[in-house]
Amino acid sequence: MSSTVAKAALRLGLVSALGLAACAPTTPAPTALPAATQAPEVSVINFVTDSDTNISDWIQNKVAPAFEAKYPQYDVQVTIVRGVGGGSGDVADRALAALQSNADPQVDVIEFDATSKPELIEAGLWQKLDSTTVPNASTLLSGIQTSEYSLPYRGSQVVLAYDSSKISEDEVPHTFAELVEWIKTNPGQFVYCRPDKGGSGGNFVTRAIYEVTGQDPSLFEKGTPNPDLVSQFPKAWDLLSEIHPAIFDNGAYPAGNTAVLTLLANGSVSMATAWSDQALQGLANGSLPPNIKLTQLTDLPFPGGNARLSVPRNSRNLQGALDFVNYLMGTDGQVSVVKDIGGFPAANWNTLPQELQQEYTTVIAETVPLWPGGDWDALKNQGWYENVATNIPMGS
Amino acid sequence: MTTRPIAPKTTNTVWPQRLKDHVLPYLLVAPPILLMTLLIFLPAGQAIVETVWIDGAVTVAEYIKFFQSPILTANLWFTFWITLATVGLLFVIGLPLSLYLRFARGRIAAAVQMLALFPLFVPGVILAYALIRAIGPHGLFDTLLHQIGIDGYVSPYLKPQGILIALVWQEIPFTVLVLTAGLRQVEDTMIESARDVGASDWQTFWRIIFPLIQRALVIVFSLNVIGTFGAFTIPYLLGPAQPMMMGVSMQQTFNNYMDRTGALTQAVLTFAFCAAVGVLYVRTVTRSPEGRP
């Protein structure tokens, strides 16, 4: 008897709690209960990402609380769609469907590169993100925004990692030509991974292609590879074949980024190409010894990549979405990118605190060359395997 | 039903019996056959068709392309070579080990058996990373040699030897299991009688044991060849960038060069070779041991 009474009481309590929540003038929120206890004007910003755990953890545990502390009127809800169907792409498709049917897209900010689905741009799904809508976008590094509908907010770039206990400061190469010279005079001491197995090797090969085509990454456009440029690839294969015998263990290429870092950490090689975030995190957690230092080429940096944010025009909390993007692009957000995830800022380094600039002075690059990928990658990888990694002469 | 009241007794006893004899067996084998058809024969058939039926005509152009490419033929020969060397080494190591385990008694033999079977429980990717740390450059082995004053260790990592060592280590348990099972069928009395008539150890092995374990040897040979020929994880992580084994080459062609038909052609060639060895296996296991002279 008493248990039924308790159940009835509980049900009553629940109903009243739900009723209260329903009365609260919040925007559609999946978590209605906590909203009831907060200030009534709190509005929810739905953030969707399909990035790796380190990124989703960072947004959830570091960025969102810091943002909410600064802007108490917002409540950031992080939804992780990593490994769920097409990830962020599916959510973007859903937002378009909502736009067409005038429904709630259930997403306000999405980690997604709008250019990866041109049809959504054509359908007019995305909000323009420039300094008129996101004031901090004015600090963006030049040349990294590829579409006005997506804002790059963090990056990763390939850098040169070297063992400072074996290589003196004045010996460190600063241009690609110097690096090639260094590799030849120090046989067995340099390594990069197979270009298809890790971006740290892939972007080394890309940099060699830039080198023989006049150091101008802007020539390489997305889509069908330009035959004029492709016809110059053999010059890059010649360059890489020239250093092939001087690569670690007479031309052995490991099958991934981490395999390269292992060789560098255990002293098998004294220089290698590495992703900036992997190297910085490795140095921070001790998997790379402190004598490993990072540097960037000064003639034309190694290429990299950026993660981008997009905002659907039909977001039910457009102002909140833009405020959140603006926060991530601001000094607080960008410092957190560098300090908490070892990422590269998307904002110009000179907008960041002095001491941070000094700490990373050796890897700071004014530009981040972007390799278009797609069919270009197929040609790059095939060319490398058939001409560089092998000593088999190419026949017909 | 009600029009045939006379026959219930016979149908009751005969029909279930028939069901048991004629329907049940087919029902029981239906799931595996369906699975085989849907998941193996159908896709394999489709793959073969896709490689020879291009732009509405039958052509072997893809195969000519394969055999004209020095890289791909090098990959094929490399795979043959690694497979032969691996299976050869497995016999050299596995046979003496199995003979020892068959005839030895006691704690040491039990310990050896444990060790020999241990790799069975280690996934390939773990094995590959463990080997990189153990026999890789500046790894455990290298460091130990350095400690006792031996320098100039050449690591097999990223070389064909790396694949060989890992594959042999991984396949030892299977080899030993099948060979010891084969050897247990050789009765002690036969060996004792051979000894009684003055046969040497070698004669006992060659004249008595070897003929009796041929079946086990063929099984070990064929299944190891098939397993090694299609290996992927170990050659991917431990082998050289070029040449590469067929498994790695296929993945490469499909994923990086986005050449589906090219990858299928390699798959069909690999499948054809493995199927030929598979026939040898099937013929061996379906032939009853009693049926042999």
**Within-domain flag for A313:** yes
Residue A43 host element (H or E): strand A43-49
Describe the crossing of helices B214-229 and B160-184 by its angle, rounded to 10 degrees.
150
Closest to A304 in 3D by CA, of A314, A296, A316: A296
Q: Reply yes or no on whether the pLDDT at B198 is more than 80.
A: yes
Task: Calculate how close chain A gets to B38, using CA atoms only, in Å.
Answer: 24
| Structure tokens, B76 | 């094929």
Domain limits for position A127: 38-154+306-352
Does residue A131 share a domain with residue A56? yes
H or E element in which residue B250 lies: helix B246-255
Domain contains A299 = yes
- The answer to whether residues A373 and A264 belong to one domain is yes
Residue A21 inside a domain? The answer is no
Cβ contact A153:A346 at 8 Å: yes
Cβ contact, residue pair B70, A253, below 8 Å: no
Q: Which two tokens stand for residue A203?
A: 């972007």
Q: Do B256 and A263 touch (CB under 8 A)?
A: no
* Contact criterion met (CB < 8 Å) for B137 and A249: yes
Residue to substitute from B78, B131, B138, B245, interface A, most A β-carbons within 10 A: B138
B124 vs chain A: nearest CA distance in angstroms?
15
Mean pLDDT calculated for residue range A257-277: 93
Selecting from B137, B242, B258 the residue whose C-beta is nearest the C-beta of A378 gives B258
Do residue A222 and residue A368 come from a single domain? Answer: yes
Asked if residue A342 and residue A197 are part of one domain, the reply reads: no
Distinct helix (H) and strand (E) counts, chain A: 17, 9
d(CA A253, CA A231): 25
Chain B interface residues facing chain A, Cβ-Cβ under 8 Å? 68-71, 74, 132, 136-139, 155, 157-159, 236-237, 240-243, 252, 255-258
Q: Coil, strand or helix: which one is B37?
A: helix
Interface-testing mutation among A250, A392, A394, A396, with chain B (most B C-beta atoms within 10 A): A392
Measured in angstroms, the CA of A215 and the nearest CA of chain B are apart by 25
- The nearest CA of chain A is from the CA of B271 a distance in Å of 24
The mean pLDDT of B213-230, rounded to a whole number, is 94
- pLDDT recorded at residue B18: 75
* Residues A168 and A282 reside in one and the same domain: yes
| Per-residue model confidence (pLDDT) at position A41 | 78
**Cβ-Cβ contacts under 8 Å, B241 against chain A:** 194, 252-253, 255, 385, 389-390
Output the CA–CA distances (angstroms, integers) from residue A77 to B169, B182, B211, in the order listed: 50, 63, 72
Average pLDDT of every residue of chain A: 86
Are A389 and B241 an interchain contact pair (Cβ–Cβ within 8 Å)?
yes
Name the pLDDT band for B14 (thresholds 50, 70, 90): low
Segment among A12-21, A348-357, B183-192 with least mean pLDDT = A12-21
In this structure, the answer to whether residues A209 and A229 fall within a common structural domain is yes
Decide if B138 and A378 are in contact by the 8 Å CB cutoff: no
Cα(A36)–Cα(B138) distance, integer angstroms: 60
Q: What is the CATH number of the domain that holds A145?
A: 3.40.190.10
The answer on A292 and A161 residing in a single domain is yes
Spatial separation of the C-alpha atoms in residues A389 and A381, rounded to whole Å: 10
Q: Are A170 and A68 within one domain?
A: no
Within a domain: A64: yes
Residues A380 and A281 in one domain: yes
Q: What's the Cα-to-Cα distance from B22 to each of B9, B28, B31, B37, rounded to whole Å?
A: 20, 11, 16, 22
Question: Are A389 and B69 within 8 A, CB to CB?
Answer: no
**A82, part of any domain:** yes
Q: Does residue A3 lie within any of the structural domains?
A: no
- B104, pLDDT greater than 50: yes
pLDDT of residue A175: 95
Whether residues A370 and A248 share a domain: the answer is yes
Pairwise CB contact (< 8 Å): A395 & B243: no
Note whether residue A5 is domain-resident.
no
- Among candidates A133, A156, A152, A132, which has minimal Cα distance to A143? A152
Q: Are residues A91 and A235 in the same domain?
A: no
Chain B residues touching residue A268 (CB < 8 angstroms): 136-138
User: Is residue A206 included in any domain, yes or no?
Assistant: yes
State the Cα–Cα distance between residues A343 and A54, nearest whole angstrom. 11
A346 lies in the same domain as A272:
no
Tell me the three state secondary structure of residue B243. Answer: coil
**pLDDT value for B289:** 57
Interface predicted TM-score (ipTM) of this complex, two decimals: 0.74
Residue of A nearest to B66 (CA): A396
Can you give the residue ranges of every domain in chain B?
Answer: 1-59, 60-291
Burial (CB < 10 A; 0-12, 13-18, 19+), residue A289, is middle
Higher-confidence position of A12 and A164? A164
For chain A, what is the domain count? Answer: 2
Residue A164 DSSP SS3: coil
Beta-carbon contacts below 8 Å between A and B: 68
Which residues of chain A lie closer than 8 angstroms to B252, CB-CB?
Answer: 196, 381, 385
CA A360 – CA A358 distance, rounded (Å): 5
- The alpha carbon of residue B74 is apart from the nearest alpha carbon of chain A, in Å, by 8
Q: Dump pLDDT digits (tens) for A198-222.
A: 889 999 999 999 999 999 998 998 8
Average pLDDT over residues B133-146: 90
B60-291 CATH fold: MetI-like fold (1.10.3720)
